[in-house]
A and B are shown apart, each in its own frame.
Chain A
């Protein structure tokens, strides 16, 4: 008897279309594009600030344009999806022994949301929004 194993090919560029699990993963990864764009816009703000009041005021005016507002809303949505996706898997990476078992997943996830909420609150207060 001769061996002649057959290797089935996996499509290199469309593999994530094979099932919903891979699509969800890709969605999580794609969200980082929006977070990256947002970071670039923020860095641009710093550059304009360093260039003086005129440049800064133009930047602020630009940010009030409808396109900028829509982009920020969309980016915020994606950032939330990204953050929640990661928060929900943190218990896998953090196994903290406690008593006879481990700290429950819900507690670990809850603490992450708590810190997120706390930091957001402090920032909003510092910015004078609240």
Chain B
């Protein structure tokens, strides 16, 4: 096993003592098979126990270890050091979010937005539990499965320039999840969700930069979901205005 000495430039911010974030450097003896998170853990365990950051699963499942690595929104447990050339790596918190402390960001805004799109099944008629499950064919599952893969890692928000310019934008992951429920054959809640989706801060704030889909570690393709919802909203509008008799 070969070792590589890498200098980590890490953003530090202590809300009780600092007026602004600053950069601290650590020299870390890295093993070849490490990911960025292993190096951060090494710093915490051996060099500086005051460093704060989030992580849990170390296997790209929990979505808590998102960081900005060399300027790119990155899932730090999925980013292998062998893919980083050179002897310096810069690690900062995810962009576009307020910094709580060091590499930890405040996610309250996303939590509110996620709630606003009602990301749960709203069947047309609620069945009593005794009547069994709501059934679905594999084909029907396939239609939305991709959008269920989201782990709420927030890399897409960190990559989205529209979210940076207008923080009211509902944003990629929440909209991808909206699409997931809208596409579900067991769900009948689309018209309720449309109130949030079809407003300006919904899908129309997106100008299709596509950065969200490029950084998404789970291939959710939120940009695709948003464009599909734009088309569906446009069809709705035309049907409503050109065929008023269809109005409910």
Q: Is A19 part of the contact surface with B, judged by Cβ < 8 Å?
A: yes
- A-B interface contact total, Cβ < 8 Å: 77
Q: Is B123 part of the contact surface with A, judged by Cβ < 8 Å?
A: no
Q: Which of A64-106 contact B (CB under 8 A)?
A: 89, 91-95, 97, 100-101
Specify which chain A residues have a CB less than 8 angstroms from the CB of B21 in the assembled complex: 6, 8
Binds B, one of A10-18, A45-53, A119-127: A10-18
With an 8 Å Cβ cutoff, the count of chain A residues facing the other chain is 27
B99 touches A1 (CB 8 A): no
Q: Is B95 part of the contact surface with A, judged by Cβ < 8 Å?
A: yes
With an 8 Å Cβ cutoff, the count of chain B residues facing the other chain is 36
Specify which chain A residues have a CB less than 8 angstroms from the CB of B159 in the assembled complex: 21
The one of B15, B208, B223 that contacts A6, using a Cβ cutoff of 8 Å = B15
Cα separation A8 to B164 with both chains bound (whole Å): 10
The one of A2, A22, A101 that contacts B161, using a Cβ cutoff of 8 Å = A22
Specify which chain B residues have a CB less than 8 angstroms from the CB of A16 in the assembled complex: 161
| Min CB–CB distance A110 → chain B (angstroms) | 18
Q: Is A130 part of the contact surface with B, judged by Cβ < 8 Å?
A: no
Q: Which of B1-46 contact A (CB under 8 A)?
A: 13, 15-16, 18, 20-21
Specify which chain A residues have a CB less than 8 angstroms from the CB of B165 in the assembled complex: 10, 12, 15
The one of A5, A95, A101 that contacts B228, using a Cβ cutoff of 8 Å = A95
Q: Is A4 part of the contact surface with B, judged by Cβ < 8 Å?
A: yes
The one of B96, B139, B210, B221 that contacts A25, using a Cβ cutoff of 8 Å = B210
A5 touches B98 (CB 8 A): yes
| Min CB–CB distance B158 → chain A (angstroms) | 11
Q: Is B111 part of the contact surface with A, judged by Cβ < 8 Å?
A: no
Q: Is A7 part of the contact surface with B, judged by Cβ < 8 Å?
A: yes
The one of B99, B214, B231 that contacts A21, using a Cβ cutoff of 8 Å = B214
Given contacts A21-B211, A101-B142, contact A6 B224 (CB under 8 A): no
A92 touches B98 (CB 8 A): no
Cα separation A9 to B18 with both chains bound (whole Å): 17
Cα separation A95 to B208 with both chains bound (whole Å): 16
Specify which chain A residues have a CB less than 8 angstroms from the CB of B214 in the assembled complex: 21
B95 touches A8 (CB 8 A): yes
A97 touches B164 (CB 8 A): no
Cα separation A91 to B159 with both chains bound (whole Å): 21
Cα separation A91 to B98 with both chains bound (whole Å): 35
Given contacts A6-B21, A25-B209, contact A93 B231 (CB under 8 A): yes
Among all A-B residue pairs, the 3 with the closest Cβ atoms:
A92-B224, A5-B98, A93-B227
Interface residues of A (CB under 8 A from B): 1-8, 10, 12, 15-16, 18-19, 21-22, 25, 29, 89, 91-95, 97, 100-101
Interface residues of B (CB under 8 A from A): 13, 15-16, 18, 20-21, 71-72, 95-96, 98-100, 106, 138-139, 142-143, 159, 161, 164-165, 207-211, 213-214, 221, 223-224, 227-228, 230-231
